[in-house]
Amino acid sequence: MLEVNNIEVVYMSVIQVLRGVSLEVGDGKIVALLGANGAGKTTTLKAISGMLKTEEGEVTVGTINFDGKRLDRYGPEAIAGMGISQAMEGRRVLEHLTVEENLLVGAYCRKDRAGVKEDLEVVFDYFPKVKHLRRRVSGYLSGGEQQMLVIGRALMARPKLMLLDEPSLGLAPLMVQDIYEIIKRINADQKMAILLVEQNARAALGIADYGYVMENGRVALGGPADKLRDNEDVREFYLGLSAVGSKKSYRDVKHYHRRKRWLA
Amino acid sequence: MNFFLQLVVTGLALGMVYALVAIGFVIILKCSNAFNIAQGHFVLIGGYLGYTFLVPFGLPIWASLILAIAVAVVMGLLIERLAIRPLVGQPELAMIMMTIALATVLEGLATLIWGGEYKTYHGVLPTVTLKLGQISIPPESLIGLIVSVVTVALLMALFRYTKIGLAMRATAEDLQVVQSVGIKATTVYAVSWVIACVVGVIGGMLLGGVSGVMIPLAEIGLKAFAVVLLGGVNSIGGAIVAGIILGVLENVAAGYLDPLLPGGGLAQIFPFIVMIIVLIFRPYGLFGLVRIERI
């Protein structure tokens, strides 16, 4: 349903961030986008959601297709209307609004009032913790609750594709596990495609169908999630597991990594 | 005592009008993060519109009010489309510069259309004087009080209970989030500028009835600015309370202090002195938005 074809992104007409990124998200699939800091994961998401245009970024080469439409030609509001909703990095709740108002903002573009009410209950069903806090000012919620609220808000638009940017950022391991289980459930119940940007490769590959690894503005590696989990490089660089469990000198790793980059 | 109450009541009416104008400030500040220097000039235009509809056209007050609001709506839409929309996403300073330009243009237009002369429609309003015991409320104050209270109540309801109100409050918090859920920022801006124009114009009509209209009426913008600072820059409730406080203070000061000093004029600065004292102790104003910090 979503196809990113070899896009290049340039900020402020000079800073090139993406140098040819291609990826694909199929109907109802969870796709993980992994990579180190500054690899271009968030920029890829912003290129898809059109948010680049608000930050003086631009897709200069390549196309982004979503259900037969060229997304790179539309602004963020129009793209949201096509059924893509984004939960941005860093738990961006609307601090002075209540929890319920936050969720209603997510459903702003929908016309069916009854459906919105139903979905409010659906969201509360996924996140029972949030239900008790519905009249609270959202700025005072804990980090985990805010992350739930942000995912819930993205869900309220009843999108076809949800873009999640680092849902595990700054959360305790148990909370990460909770949130990932819920993401998996949402994907299974709603048949909603999810594109997941993550540093936490272990958690992301645990629920994803397919994964991509980005490096220096390029996709360095792509494949089914279980294959990626077994891939030596991914195990070594992202999961922190050494290939044979034996000691390895830092020099070898560095050299190996450098060679890998040249090849990519 | 009666003299004092009399001053308080007329001050209350004046204060509500200040509050109304100040709300226009707060709305623009919340949605664009920019001080709207031209707010006082909306008031000026409002005063001249009030004069035009009431005196040369000879329309009744309700019709004049509706017509003035209609003009204000068109003015707000035009300003948003021509001056503000090209600046969305630009630094806030650019927006402030643009409002300075707007102020100059509006002042020029007022001079062009109405000649910049002193116009008054003091006697045109119906001369009902409400008597509450010993206190009599002059018609301008009464009309000002009613119109501004109704307008403020309508605005509060708009923010609290309607979808566009929710979108406006959300935009004040985080523009990107709002865009990511598909709310058109331009719609929110347009509505904000329309509201700022409408409250300015209504305020202008009401003030023009009391003091007459001339170019310096635009300085009311400065007073509204003081109201906003006193109330806390992003609080509408604060603007209302601070508006009333300043209005009453100004009137009471005029009643008691002006006769003491030859030449008078103390009433004009007294509210500002109070404002400075309050700001020393509460730099965020009386009701500034609490910065949420989680512990």
Tell whether B87 lies on the interface with A, counting CB pairs under 8 A: no
CA distances in angstroms from B83 to B31, B38, B46, B86, B102, listed in the order given: 15, 12, 20, 7, 8
User: Once rounded to an integer, what is the mean pLDDT over residues B224-231?
Assistant: 88
| Closest Cβ–Cβ partner in B173, B179, B185 for A94 | B173
From the CB of residue B112, how many other CB atoms can be counted at a distance below 10 Å? 9
> Distance between CA atoms of A119 and A115, rounded to whole angstroms?
6
Paired tokens of B32: 């664009």
Residue-level pLDDT, tens digit, chain A, 264 residues? 899 999 999 998 899 999 999 999 999 999 999 988 888 999 999 999 998 888 888 899 999 999 988 998 898 989 998 999 999 888 899 988 999 999 999 998 888 889 999 999 999 999 988 888 989 999 899 888 999 999 999 999 999 999 999 998 888 888 899 899 999 999 999 889 999 999 888 889 999 999 999 988 889 888 899 888 888 777 777 766 654 555 555 655 555 555 555 444
Q: Are residues A126 and A242 both part of a single domain?
A: no
> What end-to-end distance do the CA atoms of chain B give, in Å?
50
- A interface test, pick of B173, B180, B289 with most A CB neighbours within 10 Å: B180
Distance from CA of B47 to the nearest CA of A (A): 36
The stretches of chain B forming alpha helices (DSSP H) are 2-32, 39-54, 61-79, 92-114, 139-161, 163-173, 175-180, 185-211, 220-231, 236-256, 266-281
| Closest Cβ–Cβ partner in B176, B181, B292 for A105 | B181
pLDDT in tens, B163-183: 999 999 999 888 889 988 888
Tell whether B174 lies on the interface with A, counting CB pairs under 8 A: yes
Contact B183 A105 (CB under 8 A): yes
Task: Give me the number of domains chain B comprises.
Answer: 1
Give the pLDDT confidence score for residue A264 in this predicted structure.
46
Tell whether B166 lies on the interface with A, counting CB pairs under 8 A: yes
Judged against a pLDDT cut of 60, whether residue B207 lies above it is answered with yes
Give the pLDDT confidence score for residue A36 in this predicted structure.
83
Domain with A241, as residue range(s), is: 231-264
Distance of CA B211 to the CA centre of its chain: 16
Task: Give me the number of domains chain A comprises.
Answer: 2
Paired tokens of B37: 């220097």
Contacts of A21 (CB under 8 A, 6+ apart): A4, A6, A7, A8, A40, A44, A62, A214, A217, A218, A219
Beta strands in chain A (DSSP E): 2-11, 15-25, 30-35, 57-66, 69-70, 84-87, 161-165, 193-198, 210-215, 218-224
Judged against a pLDDT cut of 60, whether residue B87 lies above it is answered with yes
Tell me whether residue B290 is in a domain: no
Contacts of B141 (CB under 8 A, 6+ apart): B9, B10, B13, B14, B210
Distance from CA of B216 to the nearest CA of A (A): 38
Judged against a pLDDT cut of 60, whether residue B75 lies above it is answered with yes
Angle (nearest 5°) at CA B239 between B39 and B295? 120
- B interface test, pick of A105, A109, A151, A153 with most B CB neighbours within 10 Å: A105
Judging contacts by C-beta atoms under 8 Å, the chain A residues touching residue B185 are 77
B91 or A31, higher pLDDT:
A31
Contact B169 A153 (CB under 8 A): no
Q: Are residues A226 and A248 both part of a single domain?
A: no
CATH classification at residue A90: 3.40.50.300
> Distance between CA atoms of A128 and B223, rounded to whole angstroms?
49
Domain with B200, as residue range(s), is: 2-281
Give the pLDDT confidence score for residue B102 in this predicted structure.
94
Query: What Rg do the C-alpha atoms of chain B give, in angstroms?
Result: 19
Judged against a pLDDT cut of 70, whether residue B245 lies above it is answered with yes
Q: Are residues A179 and A263 both part of a single domain?
A: no
Give the pLDDT confidence score for residue A257 in this predicted structure.
56
| Closest Cβ–Cβ partner in B170, B185, B294 for A94 | B170
Judging contacts by C-beta atoms under 8 Å, the chain A residues touching residue B232 are none
Q: Are residues A139 and A253 both part of a single domain?
A: no
Count Cβ–Cβ pairs < 8 Å, chain A vs chain B: 78
Tell whether B85 lies on the interface with A, counting CB pairs under 8 A: no
Buried b (16+ CB within 10 A) or exposed e, A48-76: bbbbbbbeebebeebebebeeeebbebeb
Q: Kindly identify which residue of chain B lies nearest to residue A80, measuring between CA atoms.
A: B182
Q: Are residues A15 and A114 both part of a single domain?
A: yes
From the CB of residue A5, how many other CB atoms can be counted at a distance below 10 Å? 15
SS3 A29: coil
Summary mean pLDDT of chain B: 87
> Distance between CA atoms of A101 and A34, rounded to whole angstroms?
32
**pLDDT classification of B154: cutoffs 50, 70, 90:** very high
Q: Are B47 and B221 in contact (CB under 8 A)?
A: no
Q: Are residues A171 and A236 both part of a single domain?
A: no
> Distance between CA atoms of B109 and B116, rounded to whole angstroms?
9
**pLDDT classification of B294: cutoffs 50, 70, 90:** low
Give the pLDDT confidence score for residue B233 in this predicted structure.
80
Enter the DSSP assignment of A102: H
Q: Are residues A216 and A151 both part of a single domain?
A: yes
Contact A80 B181 (CB under 8 A): yes
Nearest of A92, A94, A221 to residue A147 by alpha carbon: A92
Question: Helix and strand tally (H, E) in chain A?
Answer: 11, 10
User: Parallel, antiparallel, or unpaired for β A15-25 and A161-165?
Assistant: unpaired
Q: Are residues A63 and A168 both part of a single domain?
A: yes
Tell whether B291 lies on the interface with A, counting CB pairs under 8 A: no
Q: Are residues A172 and A247 both part of a single domain?
A: no
SS3 A4: strand
Q: Are residues A175 and A263 both part of a single domain?
A: no
